[in-house]
Amino acid sequence: MGRVSFLNLLSAEWLKTKRTPVRWLSFLTPVAFAVLLTWYFSLKKVTPYIQAEIYQAFFEVWATVVIPAGSGIISGIVVNQEEMAGDFNGFLGSKLPRNRLYLGKLATITLFSMTSMMIGMVTLLIGIRYVLNIPVNGIIFIVAAFILQLSAMPLFAFHIWIGFARGMGESCGLGCAGVLIASLMASSLGDTVWPLVPWAWPVRLSMLPGIYLPGVILPQHFKSLRFILEQSLKGIIPVAVFFTMMLVGGLVWFNKWECGKTYD
């Protein structure tokens, strides 16, 4: 029964996005980005390391732009929709427990992100294989996408909390600020501090599988299992801790929320 109720909740959340830009942003943006990337690399000479270049371009842009900005904007939109429909009264007046309502919003944002990522990646892989005529290691791309999504979960939990507590404007603003932070953390500036910065985790962790792509020339130490595990643990542990903090903190706060505006 619980499963059916939650599926019904997700179905209701899906219907609520019908008259919003959420679907367009989630489903058309990845296709446009993948097509643009395929076109760009079709103008370049095919080299032994072109697959690694495509991989880096796709996941760096996705992790430093799409994830930070998207999590802020999408979270802001889905929360703002409830505010506009009766100042949250209809939403909180549901017979469902508040925990389930909150988790339904978080699950909706997560599913949109996962679907968007898969659409973009599949479109890109098709472009690499059949437009650029380059054999592609799809497994590495899939593993990287899975890692990126997991490492982005703390940001989703953070933004849904901010969306309810501070409103759409602040959620979107923090998402845009996250783009700048993630871009800096992707550079050498983030080499020592990235495990402490949530916006750095998607880009740093999603780059790890790419070292096994053809044409990537690195010292053998960087391709060793020990190195991969060390780097992974630097990110996985803070990801798990911060996600737990944001999820538990958000649920506790939401259950006590008086439903009035706490922002301008």
Output the six-digit token pair for 115.
């679907």
215 pLDDT more than 80: no
DSSP-derived 3-state class of residue 97: coil
Q: State the pLDDT at residue 219.
A: 66
- Write phi, then psi, for 262 (nearest 5 degrees): -115, 15
221 pLDDT more than 90: no
| Dihedral sign of CA atoms 218, 221, 222, 225 in order | positive
The model's pTM: 0.92
Output the six-digit token pair for 45.
């000479």
* pLDDT interval class at 1 (50, 70, 90): very low
95 pLDDT more than 90: no
Pick from 179, 116, 167, 157: nearest CA to 246: 157
Q: State the pLDDT at residue 260.
A: 58
| Dihedral sign of CA atoms 155, 159, 160, 161 in order | positive
- Angstrom distances, CA of residue 207 to CA of 39, 61, 152: 22, 12, 14
105/169 Cα distance (integer angstroms): 18
Place of tokens 């370049």: 44
DSSP-derived 3-state class of residue 197: coil
43 pLDDT more than 60: yes
Q: What is the pLDDT of residues 123-163, one digit of tens each?
A: 999 999 999 999 998 999 999 999 999 999 999 999 999 99
Q: For the residues 13-22, what does the mean pLDDT come to? A: 89
What average pLDDT does the chain have?
90
Q: State the pLDDT at residue 212.
A: 87
253 pLDDT more than 80: yes
Angle (deg, nearest 10), helices 67-84 and 168-186? 170
Q: What is the pLDDT of residues 198-214, one digit of tens each?
A: 999 999 999 999 988 88
23 contact partners, CB below 8 Å, separation of at least 6: 17
* pLDDT interval class at 231 (50, 70, 90): confident
